[in-house]
């Protein structure tokens, strides 16, 4: 029952908002205004569900091929994160600068239900259903503003999504065929399937699009910033995690020692590090954050790679990934919404800046933040695993360097934010307080979550000096580098340098996408030409195939002689009726 | 296709035919201006047929059959049976006939020759019902040919040169197919006598296949080729895009229910209820048909990509989508069979939605090209929404109806050991996305980029964006597309029924 309310309530609100078009203009305006101002109530039932429901599987047999949901160790924390993030984002919509807040609220609500479904699905069909709905509803968020960049971002998003969708669907069919319809059995089914490697490849590809794995990440730095700020927050905080959950649910952990584990690792690290220079060259804060998301998702994908390759580490890596995903979702959401806090909300500069700094420090993994717990747990989970991809060093030594990259990216973010003009306006104080709480609270929540999974997960000692040093050197080194770079950039010699003062034009947002776009458009021209040739060929063949005794010509003659339709129709009808009637009278008893 | 069913003699199947035959007869005699009479007759017939179907579903699902048999010429009986599969098809045609009638009444308001149109329209549905209820091959053939003849005036309705050309091509193809079919039927009847459709195959045909496999194969090939013309399987699909000149309600009916579905239905009847899957498989008919169907799926999609005319694009999409049914019918797997059966209904519902919308765009905004569609969705939100639902359903996205047919087809393809089915279906999904999403994108585009292509907005004269009789049919069918997908697991959903029917072929 609670499940029905949790999923149905937001959808009901969406239906009401949609139906508002049937009301008189005034009433519709009022309803839409209410709907968007109190949109956050949409997530309340799901929040209650998250806190109270048991972990048993709930099945709805009549829906699709049988739909089922459950709150297991992966679903519950992620759903809780989604509830907080979506609720906060919905609350931020009225002042996000959108002209149609009700439409945006409705879309975000649909995304919420689908996203929650991705986390909570207990069978493959439900998972795929929610994944697809979320992907396509996400398109609405990306193009919402209707501006030219948003539409370009939307096109690229859509193309990538459809391609990813194809890979995911293929994988789903193969997994279902292997007997993995229930998510609890999917990974085992994949492991036992003769098409195991194909399935893993398809999963990597399909979910990699969503998770922003290099080189499938190209849509992300375009789409996340193009959406209105609250939508960016959910895109980058929660929806991006759908790909991760897909991996956690379906990949056969501990089954593929060399092949795919290494491939994952290589791509993950590539993404983790390459996102940094690309992001540093941007001057739109939301683009910088998007690159930070790519880098962070690279970090998460490393955990997946280890889990794939090292059977003993699989359980710990799964929990570490969930903890990390919760931490990153909240912190990234706070940062994105922070852009709006900075731009239009009523608070002064300093409190906003401090709270955003807290969220930033959390992403870097500095002591006394949620990231401190999450990063420590991740490092412990990968243990001393060594891979060719890491160049001989153990993974636990490589991972902090991602933290260094994060520091640099967030320093860049801070710089571009600080330069932004503010236009504070009297906004509801409750919303701002909620934001502040979400900025500070994750440290407790993430800590509690990690410790509740002990001994599978490892939690750091809050005040252990050794851990402090290990966790804060990326921050300190990064800060030193950032300050140094800033000083140099200020110098007269670098005054006109495009590298020292980047404007997102050296490496455009979406980096390689510009090349790919050009390739695709060239391929499109070629394809169109080929299609036209095919059209011509088809017409040609039809023209040449005229048989010696043309049926068409014969019909044409008949057509002329039967031009009085009423007559011919009636004749035909009378004939048929007579035949049927005669038959009925004669043979009724047969 | 339920074998151990109880068979009762009943006049009901005949009455079901008469619900559309009688109105047809009277409408032909009506004057052009007797609108009220015509509308009443049309609606009464359509509603009565839906009533029959609804009343028949529970007994037929529980295994009862109603049968009427009449000697026609010596040695040949006309047999009408309501088995599960025939009722399935009648349900589709009755339901869609009802909405199409409403749509057509609105569409042709004030147009000339309406008595002729609605008369043949009703005859067309009579023929479809006859095809569905036909209990033996001869009856099937009779109604199959009747369908050819009565749809011709509908395609040619406008009487323009294009319309006549299109209709002529249509007639040439379908008559040609009819001749081939006739040859097959005569040959088979000469060898084994009249055959009644039996779930899992007719014993006499199986014996024939065992004794003279060569002849049996040839007969099967003739029958299937005859059906394939109407089912628009490449290379016999040429008539379909050309027949697009017909008025929108006719296209809707042709594409979603009557003609193409008669072909698809016939293919399933021949493979499953005449030869039986194992016999058809041994004769080598199934793999060949699967091959042609697979090729058609991809070929139709590629051709659809190149069309700028909305109705033509939809037509090639029909070519592609119909072969899902033929493909599923050719795969030896209960899941694939059920997928094929359910796609008969799902494709009908989705395609009729799309054609209704295309007709609305043409009627209300005067738009028939995709390149002119920019921003139309904002002026006609309900139509745009219905079109969007139909398109996404065609791509096969959950929770819409298209997914419920694609998923079992793909799984069934793997079950049957034909792994190439999966890549074909995935390619079809991607291609479907490639030719439908741009249309949807154009519909909802904020501002037309190219001012020249923009059509001036129609001043809001009324609250609804289009006449109610035109607007509600696509909205209702779009809602059905959603409903049939979401509630697929319900016992009486198309999917639930398709599973039951498919089970009959594997006992």
Examine residue A533 and state whether it is found in any structural domain, yes or no: yes
Tell me whether residues A162 and B437 touch, CB distance under 8 A: yes
Closest Cα in chain A to B171: A555
- The tokens for A567 are 């007559």
Residue to test with chain B: of A205, A556, A573, A588, most B Cβ within 10 A:
A573
Average pLDDT over every residue of B100-116: 88
Residue A588: how many other CB atoms lie within 10 Å:
13
Contacts of B24 in chain A (CB under 8 A): 573
Facing residue for B69 by CB, picked from A64, A177, A587: A587
What count of Cα atoms within 13 Å lies in the side-chain half-sphere of residue B32? 8
Distance between CA B427 and CA B29 in Å, rounded?
A: 51
Which residues in chain B have Cβ-Cβ distances shorter than 8 Å to A174? Answer: 414, 422
pLDDT at B3: 47
Residue B203's alpha-carbon distances to A500, A540, B274, in angstroms, are: 85, 46, 9
Listed in sequence order, the residues at least 6 apart from B229 whose beta carbon sits closer than 8 Å to its beta carbon are B173, B174, B176, B177, B180, B236, B239, B263
Mutate to test the interface with B, among A4, A523, A551 (most CBs of B within 10 A): A551
Evaluate whether B229 touches B174 at the Cβ level (below 8 Å).
Answer: yes
The pLDDT-based confidence of B2 (bands split at 50, 70, 90) is very low
| B420 at A interface, C-beta within 8 A | no
What are the pLDDT digits (tens) for A510-529? 777 777 778 877 887 888 78
In this prediction, residue B76 has a pLDDT band, given cuts at 50, 70 and 90, of confident
The pLDDT, as a whole number, for residue B61 is 85
pLDDT tens digit sequence for B363-379:
888 888 998 888 888 88
Answer whether residue B89 shows pLDDT above 90: yes
Question: CA-CA distance, B120 to A313, in Å (whole number)?
Answer: 72
pLDDT band at B452 (very low <50, low <70, confident <90, very high): very low
Residues of B in contact with A579 (CB under 8 A): 72
Find the helix or strand (DSSP H, E) in which A58 lies. strand A58-60
Of A61, A158, A166, the CB nearest to B489: A61
Residues of B in contact with A550 (CB under 8 A): 172
**A543 → chain B, closest CA residue:** B238
User: Which of B385, B400, B403, B495 to mutate: most A Cβ within 10 Å?
Assistant: B403
Let me know the angle formed at the C-alpha of B403 by B400 and B407, rounded to the nearest 5 degrees. Answer: 160
CB proximity B455 to A under 8 Å: no
Cis omega before residue A238 (within 30°)? no
Which one of A103, A124, A162, A526 makes the best mutation probe of the B interface by having the most chain B beta carbons within 10 Å?
A162
ipTM computed for the complex: 0.92
Position B203 pLDDT exceeds 80: yes
Whole-number pLDDT of residue B65: 86
Q: If you ran DSSP here, which 8-state letter would residue B369 be given?
A: B
**Residue A153 with chain B: CB contacts under 8 Å:** none
Give the contacts of A240 (CB within 8 A, at least 6 positions apart): A210, A211, A212, A220, A293, A297
Range of the domain at A537: 512-544
Q: Which of A23, A173, A547, A579 to mutate to test the interface with B (most CBs of B within 10 A)?
A: A173
Percentage of chain B beyond pLDDT 70 is 95
Q: Is B388 helix (H, G, I), strand (E, B) or coil?
A: helix
Cα(B447)–Cα(B441) distance, integer angstroms:
12
For B236-287, the pLDDT digits (tens) are 998 998 888 888 888 888 777 788 999 999 999 999 999 999 999 999 999 9
pLDDT tens-digit series, residues A358-378: 999 999 998 889 899 999 999
Band (B126; pLDDT cuts 50, 70, 90): very high
Of the candidates A174, A550, A587, the beta carbon closest to that of B71 is on A587
Shortest Cα distance, chain A CAs vs residue B460, angstroms: 14
Shortest CA gap A367–chain B (Å): 45
Q: Which two tokens stand for residue B20?
A: 């559309």
- Asked if pLDDT for residue A588 goes beyond 50, the answer is no
- CB-based contact A534 B404, cutoff 8 Å: no
Nearest CA among B482, B210, A63, B252 for reference residue B243: B252
Residue A315 lies in a domain: no
In a domain, A390, yes or no: no
Q: Does residue A151 belong to any structural domain of this protein?
A: no
What is residue A549's predicted lDDT score, i.e. its pLDDT? 56
CA angle B129, B135, B141 (to 5 degrees): 70
CB B395 within 8 A of CB B487: no
- Do residue A573 and residue B25 have CB atoms under 8 angstroms apart? yes
Q: How far apart are CA A142 and CA B405, in angstroms?
A: 30
Instruction: Among A40-49, B204-213, B455-464, name the one with the lowest average pLDDT.
Output: B455-464
Residue A467 domain flag: no
Given this model, what pLDDT does residue B454 score?
42
**In degrees rounded to 5, what are phi and psi of residue A65?**
-95, 30
pTM of the model: 0.91
Quote the distance between the C-alpha of residue A559 and its chain's center: 60
Has residue A528 been placed in a domain?
yes
Question: Are B310 and B369 spatial neighbours (Cβ–Cβ below 8 Å)?
Answer: yes
The pLDDT confidence band at residue A580, using thresholds 50, 70 and 90, is low
Q: For residues A322 and A333, is the Cβ–Cβ distance under 8 A?
A: no
In a domain, A521, yes or no: yes
**Residues B149, A572: C-beta atoms closer than 8 Å:** yes
Question: Would the pLDDT of B453 be above 50?
Answer: no
CA of B20 vs chain A CAs: smallest distance (Å): 12
In this structure, the strands spanning B76-81 and A58-60 are unpaired
Asked if the Cβ–Cβ distance from B422 to A173 is below 8 Å, we say yes
Distance between CA atoms of residues A241 and A247, nearest Å: 10
Q: B78 in contact with A at a CB cutoff of 8 Å? A: yes
**Mapping DSSP to helix (H, G, I), strand (E, B) and coil, where does residue A38 land?**
coil
Per-residue pLDDT band for A567 (boundaries 50, 70, 90) equals: low
Contact between chains at A158 and B381 (C-beta distance less than 8 A): no
pLDDT band at B459 (very low <50, low <70, confident <90, very high): very low
Non-local (6+) Cβ contacts of A212 within 8 A are A220, A240, A243, A271, A293, A294, A297
Domain count, chain A: 1
Cα of B129 to nearest chain A Cα, Å: 14
Q: What is the pLDDT of residues A389-411, one digit of tens each?
A: 556 677 888 888 899 999 999 99
pLDDT grade for B317, boundaries at 50, 70 and 90: very high
E strands present in B247-341: none
Asked if the structure places residue A524 within a domain, the reply is yes
Going across the sheet that includes B64-73, the strands are B6-9, B64-73, B76-81
Q: Decide if A551 and B175 are in contact by the 8 Å CB cutoff.
A: yes
| Between B267 and B463, residue with greater pLDDT | B267
Closest residue in chain B to residue A151, using alpha carbons only: B445
Size of interface A-B (CB pairs under 8 A): 155
**C-alpha–C-alpha distance, residues A4 and A59, integer Å:** 11
Q: How confident is the model over B206-212, as a mean pLDDT?
A: 92
Q: Dump pLDDT digits (tens) for A285-323.
A: 999 999 999 999 999 999 998 888 888 888 899 999 999
Q: Using 50, 70 and 90 to split pLDDT, how confident is the model at B318?
A: very high
Q: Write out B29-49 in H/E/C secondary structure.
A: HCCCCCHHHHHHHHHHHHHHH
Tell me the sheet residues that pair with A394: A386
> In B62-194, where does DSSP find H-type helix?
84-107, 114-133, 137-155, 161-192
Query: According to the model, what pLDDT value does residue A137 have?
Result: 94
> Are the Cβ atoms of A587 and B14 closer than 8 angstroms?
no
Q: Under 8 Å CB-to-CB from B433, ≥6 apart: which residues?
A: A162, A165, B395
The strand pairing partners of A60, in sequence order, are A67
Give DSSP secondary structure letters for B373-415. Answer: -TTHHHHSHHHHHHHHHHHHHHHT-TTSHHHHHHHHHHHHHHH
Q: Given pLDDT bands bounded at 50, 70 and 90, which one contains residue A348?
A: confident
Phi, psi of A162, deg, nearest 5: -65, -40
Show the CA angle centred on residue A271, arms to residues A265 and A277, nearest 5°.
145
To the nearest whole Å, the CA of A202 is away from the closest chain B CA by 12
CA distances in angstroms from B484 to A579, B146, B154, B398, B487, listed in the order given: 39, 31, 30, 11, 6
Mean residue pLDDT across chain A: 87
- Token pair of B459 as six digits: 């001043």
- Record: contact A170-B426, CB cut-off 8 A: yes
pLDDT of A490 above 90: no
Whether residues B398 and A570 touch (CB distance < 8 A) is answered with no
Could you tell me which residues come within 8 angstroms of residue A92 by beta carbon, excluding any fewer than 6 positions away?
A: A229, A230, A233, A337, A340, A431, A435
Q: Does B506 score more than 90 pLDDT?
A: no
Interface of B with A in 16-75 (CB under 8 A): 17, 21, 24-25, 28, 69-72
- Chain A residues touching residue B302 (CB < 8 angstroms): 531, 534
């Amino acid at each position: 029952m609670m499940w029905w309310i949790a999923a149905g309530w937001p959808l009901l609100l969406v239906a009401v908002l949609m139906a508002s078009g049937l009301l008189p203009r005034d009433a519709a305006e009022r309803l839409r205004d209410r709907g968007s101002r109190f949109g956050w109530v949409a997530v309340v039932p799901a929040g209650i569900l998250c806190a109270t429901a048991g972990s048993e599987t709930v099945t709805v047999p009549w829906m699709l091929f049988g739909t089922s949901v459950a709150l297991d160790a992966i679903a519950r924390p992620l759903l809780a994160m989604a509830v907080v993030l979506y609720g906060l984002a919905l609350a931020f919509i009225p002042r996000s600068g959108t002209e149609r807040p009700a439409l945006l609220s409705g879309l975000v609500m649909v995304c919420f239900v689908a996203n929650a479904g991705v986390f909570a699905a207990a069978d493959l069909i439900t998972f795929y259903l929610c994944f697809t709905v979320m992907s396509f509803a996400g398109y609405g968020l990306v193009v919402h503003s209707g501006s030219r960049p948003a539409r370009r971002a939307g096109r690229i998003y859509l193309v990538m999504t459809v391609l990813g969708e194809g890979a995911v669907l293929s994988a789903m069919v193969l997994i279902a065929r292997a007997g993995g319809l229930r998510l609890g059995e999917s990974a085992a089914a994949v492991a036992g399937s003769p098409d195991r490697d194909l399935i893993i490849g398809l999963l990597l590809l399909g979910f990699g699009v969503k998770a922003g794995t290099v080189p499938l990440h190209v849509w992300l730095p375009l789409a996340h910033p193009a959406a209105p700020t609250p939508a960016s927050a959910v895109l980058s905080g929660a929806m991006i995690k759908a790909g991760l959950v897909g991996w956690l649910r379906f990949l056969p952990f501990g089954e593929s020692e060399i092949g795919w584990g290494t491939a994952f690792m290589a791509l993950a690290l590539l993404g983790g590090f390459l996102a940094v220079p690309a992001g540093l060259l941007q001057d739109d804060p939301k683009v910088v954050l998007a690159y930070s998301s790519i880098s962070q998702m690279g970090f998460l994908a490393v955990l997946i790679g280890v889990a794939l390759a090292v059977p003993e580490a699989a359980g710990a890596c799964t929990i570490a990934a969930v903890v990390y995903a919760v931490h990153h979702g909240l912190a990234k959401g706070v940062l994105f919404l922070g852009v709006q806090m900075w731009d239009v909300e009523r608070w002064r500069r300093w409190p906003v800046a401090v709270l955003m700094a807290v969220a930033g420090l959390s992403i870097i993994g500095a002591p006394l933040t949620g990231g401190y717990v999450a990063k420590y747990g991740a490092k412990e989970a990968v243990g001393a695993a060594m891979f060719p991809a890491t160049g001989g060093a153990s993974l636990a030594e490589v991972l902090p360097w991602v933290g260094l990259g994060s520091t640099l990216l967030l320093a860049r973010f801070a710089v571009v934010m600080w330069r932004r003009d503010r236009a504070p306006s009297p906004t509801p104080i409750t919303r701002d307080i909620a934001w502040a709480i979400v900025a500070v609270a994750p440290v407790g929540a993430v800590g509690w979550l990690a410790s509740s999974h002990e001994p599978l997960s490892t939690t750091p000692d809050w005040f252990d000096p050794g851990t402090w040093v290990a966790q804060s050197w990326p921050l300190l080194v990064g800060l030193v580098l950032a300050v140094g770079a800033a000083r140099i950039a200020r110098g007269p010699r670098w005054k006109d340098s495009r590298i020292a003062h980047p404007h997102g034009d050296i490496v455009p947002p979406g980096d390689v996408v510009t090349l790919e776009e050009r390739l695709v458009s060239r391929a499109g021209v070629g394809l169109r030409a080929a299609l036209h040739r095919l059209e011509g060929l088809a017409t040609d063949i039809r023209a040449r195939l005229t048989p010696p005794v043309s049926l068409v010509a014969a019909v044409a003659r008949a057509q002329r002689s039967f031009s009085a339709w009423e007559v011919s129709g009636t004749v035909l009808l009378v004939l048929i009726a007579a035949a049927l009637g005669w038959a009925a009278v004669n043979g009724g008893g047969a | 296709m339920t074998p151990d069913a109880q068979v009762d003699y009943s006049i009901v199947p005949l009455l079901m035919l008469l619900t559309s035959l009688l109105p047809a007869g009277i409408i032909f005699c009506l004057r052009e201006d007797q609108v009220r009479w015509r509308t009443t007759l049309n609606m009464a017939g359509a509603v009565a047929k839906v009533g029959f179907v609804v009343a028949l579903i529970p007994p037929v699902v529980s295994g009862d059959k109603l049968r009427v048999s009449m000697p026609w010429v010596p040695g040949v009986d006309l047999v009408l049976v309501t088995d599960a599969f025939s009722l399935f098809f009648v349900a589709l045609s009755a339901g869609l006939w009802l909405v199409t009638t409403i749509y057509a009444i609105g569409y042709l308001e004030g147009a000339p020759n309406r008595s002729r149109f609605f008369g043949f329209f009703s005859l067309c549905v009579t023929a479809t019902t006859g095809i569905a209820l036909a209990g033996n091959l001869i009856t099937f053939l009779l109604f199959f040919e009747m369908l050819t003849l009565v749809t011709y005036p509908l395609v040619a309705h406008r009487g323009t040169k294009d319309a006549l050309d299109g209709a002529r091509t249509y007639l040439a193809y379908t008559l040609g197919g009819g001749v081939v079919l006739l040859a097959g039927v005569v040959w088979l009847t000469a060898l084994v006598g009249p055959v009644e459709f039996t779930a899992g195959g007719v014993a006499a045909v199986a014996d024939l296949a065992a004794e003279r496999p060569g002849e049996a194969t040839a007969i099967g090939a003739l029958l299937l080729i005859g059906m394939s013309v109407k089912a628009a399987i490449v290379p016999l699909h040429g008539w379909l895009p050309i027949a697009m000149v017909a008025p929108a309600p006719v296209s809707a009916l042709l594409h979603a229910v009557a003609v193409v579905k008669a072909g698809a239905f016939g293919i399933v009847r021949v493979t499953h209820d005449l030869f039986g899957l194992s016999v058809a498989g041994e004769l080598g008919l199934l793999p060949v048909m699967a091959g042609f169907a697979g090729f058609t799926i991809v070929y139709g999609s590629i051709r659809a990509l190149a069309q700028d005319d909305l109705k033509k694009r939809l037509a090639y999409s029909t070519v592609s989508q119909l072969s899902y049914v033929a493909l599923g019918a050719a795969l030896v797997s209960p899941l694939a069979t059920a997928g094929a059966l359910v796609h008969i209904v799902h494709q009908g519902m989705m395609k009729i939605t799309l054609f209704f919308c295309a007709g609305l765009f043409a009627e209300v905004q005067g738009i028939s090209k995709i390149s002119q569609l920019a921003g139309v969705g904002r002026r006609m939100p309900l139509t745009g929404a219905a079109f969007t639902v139909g398109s996404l359903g065609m791509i096969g996205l959950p929770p819409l109806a298209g997914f419920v047919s694609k998923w079992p087809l793909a799984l069934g393809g793997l079950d049957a050991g034909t792994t190439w089915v999966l890549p074909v279906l995935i390619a079809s999904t991607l291609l479907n996305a490639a030719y439908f999403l741009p249309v949807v994108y154009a519909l909802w585009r904020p501002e037309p980029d190219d001012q020249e292509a923009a059509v001036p907005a129609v001043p809001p004269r009324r609250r609804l964006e289009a006449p109610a009789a035109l607007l509600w049919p696509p909205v209702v069918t779009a809602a059905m597309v959603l409903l049939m997908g979401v509630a697929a697991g319900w016992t009486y959903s198309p999917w639930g029924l398709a599973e039951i029917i498919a089970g009959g072929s594997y006992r």
